[in-house]
Amino acid sequence: MAAIGDRGTVTEASGFDAEADCQKLREAMKGAGTNEATITEVLAHRTIAQRQRIKEAYKQTVGKDLADDLSSELSGNFKSVVLGLLMLAPVYDAYELRNAMKGAGTEEACLIEILASRSNAEVKTICSVYKNEYGKDLESAVCGDTSGMFQRVLVSLLSAARDESDRVDEAQVVQDAKEIYEAGEAEWATDEDKFLSVLCGRNQHHLLKVFVAYQKISGRDIEESIEREMSGPLASVFLAIVKCLRNKSAFFAARLYKSMTGPGVTDSVLIRTVVSRAEIDMLDIKAQFQRMYGKSLSSFIKADTSGDYRQILLELCGGE
């Protein structure tokens, strides 16, 4: 029941007792009012695997679904965090993707964030879970809500076919860098197909060298060229791919920062990032956040959230 990563702030609880935790949660929901502090104490300090054991124990001893009971007792952002914590990682990703495509308008940023940052194996599992949970292919859902080259990039990411080896062909590196340059900065009209084939197909080691070669050829970072040559969701998805390849922790640190600055707090982004990364790489994201913005992630959470919602986020992030 270990954590799914080794750089998380949520780690396996020692002396874990699913039945005892189940009893604590039951007591927290008894009578008038709910004891949110107890819910936080239990769920923010257990791994996803341990939470699954608690869910099983609850169903066995109470004869009801823990998520259903918590859903009926809680509300707002705190409820969103708690329900997210009870899901397996690919189930949560599938749930978030579906929410991003529900109703009028599509939250392109959610589609981009999840599909650009997950491995081939993770994407394949998400696609399988989506089909099982919602009775529809994720690719079909995405195609129904997006269009043009942006849609094609997402479909490419959904194919989960990126080379994940560590092979680097130096001649191909130079060729790729030249072709991307010629497809973008050197042309009046940008040939986005070439960006797609290289950025969605080559492995990380190869692409990091392509980015260096590109800078030498063009005099610009690849990110700057993407911002100059493209706009809207297409620019955003290519930038996310590049940023995740360069430094995934920095990508998520920037997502967190953006969610808590500007007009209002984008709670959906804040919640999704904390819940999905807490037991994978939150230690690295926190360190990166401090380096990039000169303040701790916790200080931002304290300033921009309140109450039980603030407390559960802080505990999931390991406090200071």
Is 229 within the bounds of a domain? no
> What is the structure's pLDDT at 273?
98
Q: Cβ(124)–Cβ(160) under 8 Å?
A: yes
Q: Cβ(192)–Cβ(159) under 8 Å?
A: no
- How many domains does the chain contain in total? 4
Of 85, 103, 130, the domain-final residue: 85
Of 28, 57, 85, the domain-final residue: 85
Please tell me the distance from the alpha carbon of residue 92 to that of residue 130, in angstroms, as a whole number. Answer: 10
Domain range for 284 is: 248-317
Please tell me the distance from the alpha carbon of residue 252 to that of residue 113, in angstroms, as a whole number. Answer: 9
Is 275 within the bounds of a domain? yes
> What is the structure's pLDDT at 183?
87
- Quick one: 308 and 287 in the same domain? yes
Please report, for the domain that includes residue 207, its CATH number.
1.10.220.10
Task: For the chain, 320 residues long, give each residue's pLDDT as a single digit of tens.
Answer: 777 888 999 999 999 999 999 999 999 998 778 999 999 999 999 999 999 999 999 999 999 999 999 999 999 999 999 999 999 999 999 999 999 998 767 799 999 999 999 999 999 999 999 999 999 999 999 999 999 999 999 999 999 999 999 999 999 999 999 999 988 876 655 689 999 999 999 999 999 999 999 999 999 999 999 999 999 999 999 999 999 999 999 999 999 999 999 776 799 999 999 999 999 999 999 999 999 999 999 999 999 999 999 999 999 999 76
Is 13 within the bounds of a domain? no
Four-residue CA torsion sign, 18, 2, 251, 98? negative
Six-digit token string for 230: 């493209």
Please tell me the distance from the alpha carbon of residue 307 to that of residue 61, in angstroms, as a whole number. Answer: 31
